[in-house]
């Protein structure tokens, strides 16, 4: 039993490496369509998967649509990145179809395919996530649900533990979507939630639980995880966590 500090960027890398070993991801890379919708956590996943396929042209920066930034950030940089948006990462039968988005292949998705879509809020206890929505037509999540609900396409929601919210996401969404509210709307979604905890389990077999959080000087948003397992599992977990522990912050 040992405690580990995971920063947000280390968490993103850990989630990405866990997703690469996920059985549904391994399956769909051999036969099917994997749609990795643009987002900061998903950028790490796209990078890991593209590298595993021998595709080395993917870049982390610019792989997002909506993004949260501090008030002091110079938004001219964001506009330049938006101009060079590469599209989502669409991989068909193990080959990256460069430049395509979820909207280009939406009608082709079926029950053998997988969509990866990030989220903005996580209720850990209920294993439920919710997505902020700024687009008047619901953005990529509403589009994705056509395939998820209509044709049983698998939805996996990679999300870091720093996005944990203690409240009822349905009730929160009802408030944010009300006529009196301002700002982004919110949509709770049903899918397979995949956090740092699931990543540790799939990579090492060890169990992890959130026990504390916070820090300074780059550890802001960090989480402390208590990891338990056999001697072999603990050795694997420690090696994996150490390999991502110095991941540099995600900076635009």
Residues 6+ apart with CB under 8 A from 70: none
| Cα–Cα distance for residue pair 191/135, rounded to 1 Å | 21
Q: Quick one: pLDDT at residue 182?
A: 95
- Those residues with Cβ within 8 angstroms of residue 195's Cβ, 6 or more apart along the chain or in another chain: 11, 15, 122, 124, 158, 159, 160, 161
Query: For the chain, which residues score pLDDT lower than 70?
Result: none
* pLDDT tens track for 158-194: 999 999 999 999 999 999 999 999 999 999 999 999 9
- Token reading at 250: 């995600």
Residue 251 has a pLDDT of: 84
Under 8 Å CB-to-CB from 117, ≥6 apart: which residues? 37, 39, 42, 131, 140, 141, 144, 155, 156, 157, 189, 191
CA-wise closest residue to 189 among 163, 174, 176, 170: 170
Residue with tokens 């049983």: 152
Domain 11-197, CATH 2.60.40 — does that match? no
The tokens of 182 are what? 């301002």
State the DSSP H helix or E strand holding residue 34, giving kind and residue range, or none if neither.
Answer: strand 33-36
Q: Give the total residue count for the chain.
A: 252
Q: 131: which strand partners?
A: 187
Would you kindly state where each structural domain of the chain is located, as residue ranges?
11-197
pLDDT value of residue 83: 76
Q: Cα separations (Å) of 162 from 154, 225, 233? A: 24, 12, 25
For the stretch 143-160, pLDDT in tens is: 999 999 999 999 999 999
């Amino acid at each position: 039993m040992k405690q580990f500090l995971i920063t947000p960027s280390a968490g993103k890398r850990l989630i990405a490496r866990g997703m690469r070993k996920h059985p549904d991801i391994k399956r769909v890379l051999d036969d099917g369509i994997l749609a990795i919708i643009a987002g900061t956590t998903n950028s790490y996943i796209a990078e890991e998967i593209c590298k595993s396929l021998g595709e080395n042209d993917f870049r982390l920066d610019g792989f997002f649509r909506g993004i949260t930034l501090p008030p002091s950030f110079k938004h001219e940089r964001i506009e330049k990145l938006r101009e060079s948006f590469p599209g989502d990462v669409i991989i068909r039968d193990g080959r990256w179809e460069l430049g395509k988005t979820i909207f280009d292949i939406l009608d082709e998705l079926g029950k053998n395919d997988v969509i990866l879509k990030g989220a903005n809020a996580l209720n850990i206890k209920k294993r439920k996530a919710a997505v902020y929505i700024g687009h008047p037509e619901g953005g990529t999540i509403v589009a994705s649900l056509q395939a998820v609900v209509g044709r049983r396409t698998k939805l996996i929601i990679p999300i870091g533990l720093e996005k944990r919210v203690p409240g009822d996401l349905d009730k929160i969404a009802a408030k944010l979507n009300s006529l009196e509210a301002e700002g982004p709307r919110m949509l709770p979604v049903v899918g397979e939630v995949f956090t740092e905890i699931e990543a540790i389990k799939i990579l090492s077999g060890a169990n992890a639980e959130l026990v504390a959080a916070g820090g300074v000087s780059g550890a802001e948003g960090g989480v402390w995880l208590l990891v338990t397992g056999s001697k072999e599992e603990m050795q694997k977990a420690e090696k994996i966590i150490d390999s991502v522990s110095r991941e540099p912050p995600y900076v635009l």
